[in-house]
Structure 1
Amino acid sequence: MARSASFAGGSHAPRRSANLPYPDAGGADDRAWRGEVVPLVYLAFVLLLGGGGTYYPLVETAIEWAAIGVIGWSTLRLRHAAIGPFGKALLALAALALLLPLAQLIPLPWSVWSTLGGQEQAVAIYRILGWEGVSRPLSLSPDATRATLLAQLPALAALLAVLGLSWTARLVALRIVVAIALLGILVAALQIAAGPDAAPLLYDTAHRGYGVGLFVNRNHQAVFLLVAMLVSTVPGVLVPDRRGVGGIGRLPFPALLAIVALLAMGVLASASRTALLLLPLALAGALLPFVRRVRRGRWLPATIGVAMVAAVALWFTPLVQGVLARFATVGEEDRYNYWDNSLFALRQSLPWGTGFGSFQTVYPVVEPLDQIQFLTVPHAHSDYLELAMEGGVPALALALAGLVLVGCGLVAALRAGGADATTRRGVAIGATGGIVMLLAGSIVDFPLRMSALLTLFAALVALLAPPAVVPARRRSGIAWRIVVAVVLLGAAWQALAQGLSQQLMHGRQGAAASQVAPWSGRAWAMVAAQHPLPGQAAAAEAAARRALATRPMDAVAVRVAGLAAIARGDTATGQTLLRQAAQLGWRDAPTQLWLVREAINAGAFDFALERIDALLRQRQLAPILYAQMSRLFDLPEGRSAIARRLAERPGWRQGFLNTLARGAPDRVDALAAFYGDLARAGVPVRTDEVRLTLWRLAEAGDMVAAERLWRMAGGTGRIGNGGFDGPAGALPPAAPPFDWRAPPAAGVRVAIGEPDQPWNGQAVEIAADAGSAGTPLAQRTRLLPGTYRLGFVLRSDGPVPALDWIVACGDAPPVTATLAAPVADRGWQRYAGTIRLPGRCDDGELRVRLGETNRAVSAWIDDVTLARTG
């Protein structure tokens, strides 16, 4: 049978499709093909631009406008079409999926709304505001629910458009998926080759350095490539089917294998662990249709050989090893915490959910302090959990019905007969494989929250249905056209206002955003926060109330309403609102600062430090908070509370210890008591944590205090870090007491590293050019009169350099160690010697002096000890 000239590059006239019974063979067929171009262009447009998500609202608005246009076009085109039972069931399910968020926007009586699960804090806030009895929709974030509803339009457009495509056009749609996937791989290769800083990115991403292709998230890129891999080998897409129909020419099996291998390489380049686990399944599904052909033909030995060589070669590449290395951190995944918290919120909100799009409102309420970090959590990283949390039992029921419907569609396609049965079976198997990949990726991520992948998902589901029979010339009536136009124009206006409002909020233009989209609670909350208090208390409170009328659990709006009430003299109401704001999470900095001040005034230091901890984990207001903690540090009770907080080893622990170094000379006893508190709490300070404090004490000339605190931090003997266990690299020219430094010496290089034959891990290497001399290594210390035993080990592959060990103390003559003959031990030379100090040396320095050499030398030193023997 001849292939279609329009889509397969053949030279014959277009074949009349069995499901498009046009009355004439000329103009009607041409009009049909022209009509099918619109869905194909739309699909390509969304797949190319729909990988950025809500962080790019204007792009999302452009996609939604395109979807609205396609919905209108498809609605009129399918108005009188004959759609099979499966297609009608899909449309009914899609209608229910749109009606569910609409139902969440319907105001409910107070008696009903106030008893719903997950609404307790919203109810409490409304009672404080005096709004008890008002009607409220189920959704806790109606503006986000409206945005979610608009975000479903691209998927609806794909569903309607694909239902009206012939089998030939459907094969072209799958070719478009493969082509854009290959384009994404090309972009990903350029991104990896250019490096993280110069990578050509369509969207800014936290996954710089990986192959994200046309997406903002590497996991979504990987899932898209897996889908493309499965549909690329559908007979009729890239290779002709048994009847010779479809396919780009007669693509030989090696070329198809190369395309599948390229897609697999793109999956590896994304470094997605989930995709790597799904890759063998996708490869098996992609190549399954060709097993019989390979087994009967001459390609079997070559295919096996190439696959084995490629697998071995790839295994040792940095690309594969980098992906495998990521599995070592599976146990540290933050996703487990996201899931646990989301499950907690889910149990609270059953059976009706909290409203689509409300995740970012609800999740901060259940986010524990020890999980707070700089980045916020935008999604549950499981589409199923987030769907259940926001949509409740009705959403889960719809999802289950959708899965059953997909299964029924596959079974019907496999049993179908007729002229297009072979094509239908192949397309159904490939589409189902793609659906499985998207659903599997949704277990641990949120691919269906991206317009590109949600649209692709809807298109794949629609491919399971037989094409609708579209009449050639019958048109919809004018009344129907007017109704469709009015509805779609309203949706287009909503989409534009939503997108512009979000874009303006990205630019911190709250006033303009609230005028463009007056229903946006987020915009009004931004307006409220931008009115300075107490000068504009009335305007701030009015905007906050506008926000709370839409989003009753908006932490910013609750906080502004509370501060505004205090500013106008209603202290009791204001403080009550601020306490409610504190229960809405740890992330609103002004609320937490108010609580810190109130708690300190009340002597509740542990409570205050919890709030300080939350802000510091988000890298907010560190100078202000460290100053607050420094004042608490001067109080014994406050110092103990700080020690209890630092006992949990928060990420800002080192920063605060460095802050204490500023006043170290005036608070030595307080620091000693603090170190003692930390030791009793089971997390004593380490010597590397107090380096700045020791430095400040040495600068002040108080080496006695420096030694005291160094020993409390775990220092032993008379010198520190004798094993050179610090960070590898060149030693600095200056260092605090009880730490090594490398005084500048011409032609001499000193660095900590790992010898080829280590003594005990790291060591320090002294490398000198011929004719060099000087003092390459030194450490400031405090020594009492008496005899000291010096020990170290040395290894040199060439001439042993002339090294003297000297103690220098002020203006007194330096004392040189007397070294005994070395003893060979494990390829190293073990040295021992003695140093006799005639007087006290409160601020001395142990130095290694390098004698002039007549050739280049290199030596490793390790295990340096200096202990007083008498």
Structure 2
Amino acid sequence: MSIPLNGKRPVLGRALGTAALAGLVLVTVIAMTDRVGASVMPSGPLSAGKARGVFAAANSAGDSDTSLAAGERMVRWAPVVRGSLSAYGVALGTAGYPDRAAEVLRAASSLGWRDEVAQAYASTQALVNGEVDLAAFRMEALLRSAPESQLTRQTLAQIMLDDGARLALARRMGEGVEWPANVLIGLRDRPAEEIAATAVLLAEARQFGFRADDRVARWETFAIYEENPRLAWALWLALNGEGGLARSGLWDDTFAVADKVGSGTSAPFEWRRATSTSANVNVGEVDGKPRVEVIGGGFSAQDISRQAIVLEPGRYVMSWSASSRIEGRPDLHLSAVCVTPNGSMTLGPIVPTEGKFGRLLEVGADCEVVQARIFAPSGDTTMRWLSDVQIASVD
């Protein structure tokens, strides 16, 4: 059963039915660790404490009459305890009193921003009524007070489906300090469509000034990359913008973290030090151009640094500058592999051209992600360098 606003629309909108809400209220009522009031009678059959237990059990059993009676006792004996009014409102809805349920939930939403049930009700009701700024305001309260709550996630999912409400929330995120990052909590464990919708919200929030912590952004991106590289790519762009794509065809063309290892210090779409290399890898700069510098490790050929790139099927030219002790042969060069299982890719020979080096790269239709690699041949332990990497389409 749902709680209708009138004869046509449910109080909690199309996605939040009363049955699901009641289950979440159950958790909220039992926990109640952050109280703003106390029961008038700490013990006895009419105590609010006992009523909370009865309410929880009745909700679990689907007994609407008992949960309604318990909700009334909760409000009577502990009206200012967080959760009492909102639980009573849900009980009214499940018992078949939609108008009274709406009134009680509206009252609950005015008593304080920490009541997640009341805030979810207020946000979704505002969304149903087309009040997108109010919906975003209530959504902020949820993200502040209960960022890991399933109810928060359900309400956020509805906000992200509405263009106006999503944009209003993105604007608030751009003005916020700490709470906007709560949108990322648990993101890796959500369905792909929800992650994609969140990426849209984050991209809009970035336009209004939101910036995620670098370490958190890398952790979340790496976790999602393991399951869905293209989805991780969309999230990374949403969090960090286009990077060097317009200049070079790679997100990272500065080698800023090429000497780093791990999800806390680099992301799949940044140059990062290969864990298997025995060489010393440094990041330097000459004439204003960043470059990666390698010393040692010349007794065996090895990858030095890697970066994942999302490329559409077609032909590309990979080009770079590098030190060259033997004319026409770079001390360090670029290679690439397709990291999609069974994906096809063809890599041509190295060709010197106009003071640089290049090679043709052909990406098959079944290759979703290419991993570019900086490769060091064996036989040299002195300092070698590579810079000015570019990948350009030739189709």
TM-score (norm 1): 0.30
CA distance in 2, matches of 1:608, 1:661: 23
> Are 1:834 and 2:357 counterparts?
yes
Q: Mark the CA change 1:852 to 1:526 in structure 2 (over 3 Å): closer, same or farther.
A: farther
Q: Distance in 1 between matches of 2:91 and 2:393?
A: 71
Instruction: Identify which range, 569-578 or 679-688, moves more after superposition.
Output: 679-688
1:805 equivalent to 2:331? Answer no
**Secondary structure at the residue paired with 2:112?**
coil
Cα distance 1:767–1:636, how it changes in 2: closer, same or farther (>3 A)?
same
Q: Which amino acid aligns with 1:721?
A: D
> Which of 847, 856, 867 lines up with 2:373 in the alignment?
847
Given the alignment of the two structures, is residue 591 of structure 1 paired with residue 118 of structure 2, yes or no?
A: yes
CA–CA distance in structure 2, aligned partners of residues 761 and 524 of structure 1: 72
2:22 matched to which residue of 1?
none
1: CA distance between counterparts of 2:99 and 2:293? 67
What one-letter code is carried by the residue in structure 2 that aligns with 1:852?
S
Counterparts of 1:536 and 1:514, CA distance in 2: 20
Q: Structure 1's 623 and 833: CA in aligned 2 closer, same or farther, altered over 3 A?
A: farther
Alignment of 1:145-164 (within 5 A): none
Instruction: Please state whether the residue corresponding to 1:515 is helix, strand or coil.
Output: coil
Per-residue CA distance 1:27-75 (angstroms, 9 max, x = gap): xxxxxxxxxxxxxxxxxxxxxxxxxxxxxxxxxxxxxxxxxxxxxxxxx
SS in 1 for 2:372: strand
Residue 718 of structure 1 aligns with which residue?
A: 249
Contact 1:818 1:835 in 2 (8 A): yes
Aligned to 2:84: 557
From the superposition, tell whether residues 708 and 864 of structure 1 become closer, same or farther in structure 2 (CA, over 3 Å).
Answer: farther
* Alignment: residue pair count: 328
| 1:29-48 matches, cutoff 5 A | none
Q: Equivalences for 1:80-95 in 2 at 5 Å?
A: none
Q: Deviations over 1:770-812 (max 9, x none)?
A: 6343112122333864655424799xxxxxx942233556442
Over residues 235-279 of structure 1, what are the superposed CA-to-partner deviations in whole Å (9 max), with x where a residue is unaligned? xxxxxxxxxxxxxxxxxxxxxxxxxxxxxxxxxxxxxxxxxxxxx
CA distance in 2, matches of 1:819, 1:627: 56
Using the TM superposition, give the Cα deviation of residue 514 of structure 1 relative to its aligned residue in structure 2, in angstroms.
Answer: 0.7
Is the contact made by 1:529 and 1:556 (CA closer than 8 Å) also made in structure 2?
no
Aligned to 1:866: 390
**Whole-angstrom CA distance in 2 between matches of 1:514 and 1:637:** 46
1:599-638 aligned within 5 A = 599-638=126-165
Extract unaligned runs of 5+ from structure 2.
1-32, 325-329, 339-343
* Greater radius of gyration (CA): 1
1:167-566 → structure 2 map (5 Å cutoff) = 514-515=42-43, 525-530=48-53, 531-532=55-56, 533=59, 534=64, 535-548=66-79, 553-566=80-93
Does structure 1 residue 776 correspond to structure 2 residue 310? no
Residues 307 and 373 in structure 2, CA contact (< 8 A), matched pair in contact too: yes
Compare the two structures and name the one with the higher helix fraction: 1
CA distance in 1 between partners of 2:347 and 2:114 (Å): 61
Assess if the C-alpha contact under 8 Å between 1:788 and 1:869 holds in 2: no
Distance 1:701 1:651 in 2: 22
Tell me: CA distance 1:672–1:652, structure 2 relative to 1, closer, same or farther (3 Å): closer
Flag the 1:695–1:660 CA change in 2: closer, same or farther, 3 A. Answer: same
Change (3 A) 1:664 1:720: farther
Partner of 1:663: 193
- Identical positions, percent: 19
Between Structure 1 and Structure 2, which shows a larger proportion of strand residues? 2
3-state SS of 1:652 partner? helix
- How far apart are residue 759 of structure 1 and its match? 8.8
Counterpart position of 1:818: 352
User: Structure 2 CA distance, aligned partners of 1:562 and 1:609?
Assistant: 22
Measured after TM superposition, the shift of residue 577 of structure 1 is 3.0
* Counterparts of 1:727 and 1:554, CA distance in 2: 53
- Write the distance in 2 (CA, Å) between the matches of 1:839 and 1:727: 25
Return the alpha-carbon distance in structure 2 between the equivalents of residues 686 and 714 of structure 1: 17
Distance, in Å, in 2 between the alignment partners of 1:540 and 1:632 is 29
1:730 partner SS: coil
Distance 1:786 1:762 in 2: 23
CA gap of 1:565–1:741, structure 2 versus 1, over 3 A, is: same
* 1:714 aligned partner, one-letter code: E
The residue matched to 1:780 in structure 2 has which SS? strand
**SS at 1:852's partner residue?**
coil
- For residues 333 and 94 of structure 2, the distance between their equivalents in structure 1, rounded to whole angstroms, comes to 72
Instruction: Give, in angstroms, the shift of residue 732 of structure 1.
Output: 5.7
What is the DSSP-based 3-state SS (H/G/I as helix, E as strand, rest coil) of the residue aligned with 2:76?
A: helix
The aligned amino acid for 1:849 is: F
Alignment correspondent of 2:24: none
Per-residue displacement from partner, 1:652-674 (whole Å, max 9, x unpaired)? 24448767882389x6xx78976
Q: 1:636 to 1:685 in 2, by over 3 A?
A: farther
Tell me by how many angstroms 1:587 deviates.
0.8
Deviation readout 1:431-478 (Å, 9 max, x if unpaired) = xxxxxxxxxxxxxxxxxxxxxxxxxxxxxxxxxxxxxxxxxxxxxxxx
Give the gaps of 5 or more residues in structure 1: 1-504, 795-800, 821-831
Distance in 1, Cα, partners of 2:334 & 2:361? 17
Give the whole-Å Cα distance in 2 for the aligned partners of 1:527 and 1:626.
Answer: 30
Q: Which moved more, 1:590-599 or 1:690-699?
A: 690-699
The CA distance in 2 between the partners of 1:835 and 1:672, in whole Å, is 34
Superposed CA offset, 1:835-862 (max 9, x none): 142756775443211222476x67787x
Query: Does the CA contact (< 8 Å) of 2:315 and 2:360 recur in 1?
Result: yes
- Paired residues of 2:251 and 2:270 also in contact (CA < 8 A): yes
Shift of 1:639: 4.0
Cα pair 1:662 1:693 within 8 Å, conserved: no
1:582/1:591 contact within 8 Å kept? yes
Counterpart residue identity of residue 593, structure 1:
A
Report what 1:201 is aligned to: none
Pairwise CA distance, 1:761: 12
Letter in 1 for 2:352: T
Quote how far apart the aligned CAs of 1:586 are.
0.9
Query: Counterparts of 2:299 and 2:148 in 1: how far apart (Å)?
Result: 53
On the 8 A contact 2:137/2:169 being kept in 1, the answer is no
- Between the aligned partners of 2:150 and 2:280, the Cα distance in structure 1 is 38
- Residue 637 of structure 1, CA deviation: 4.0
Change (3 A) 1:719 1:569: closer
CA RMSD of aligned residues (A): 5.4
Q: Which of 161, 175, 181 in structure 2 is aligned with 1:651? A: 181
Matched AA of 1:834: F
Distance 1:743 1:690, change over 3 A: closer
- Against the structure 1 CA distance between its residues 630 and 694, is the aligned structure 2 distance closer, same or farther, given a 3 Å change threshold? farther
Query: Does the CA contact (< 8 Å) of 1:676 and 1:684 recur in 2?
Result: no
Q: What amino acid is the match of 2:378?
A: E
CA distance in 1, matches of 2:167, 2:218: 18
- Report the CA distance shift for 1:728/1:780 in structure 2 as closer, same or farther (over 3 A): closer
> In the alignment, is the contact (CA less than 8 A) between 1:763 and 1:860 conserved in 2?
yes
Give the alignment's TM-score, normalised by structure 2: 0.59
Q: Compared with structure 1, are the counterparts of its residues 626 and 540 closer, same or farther at alpha carbon in structure 2 (3 Å cutoff)?
A: closer
Cα distance in 1 for residues equivalent to 2:75 and 2:198: 45
What is the DSSP-based 3-state SS (H/G/I as helix, E as strand, rest coil) of the residue aligned with 2:333?
Answer: strand
Q: Partner of 1:740 in structure 2? A: 271
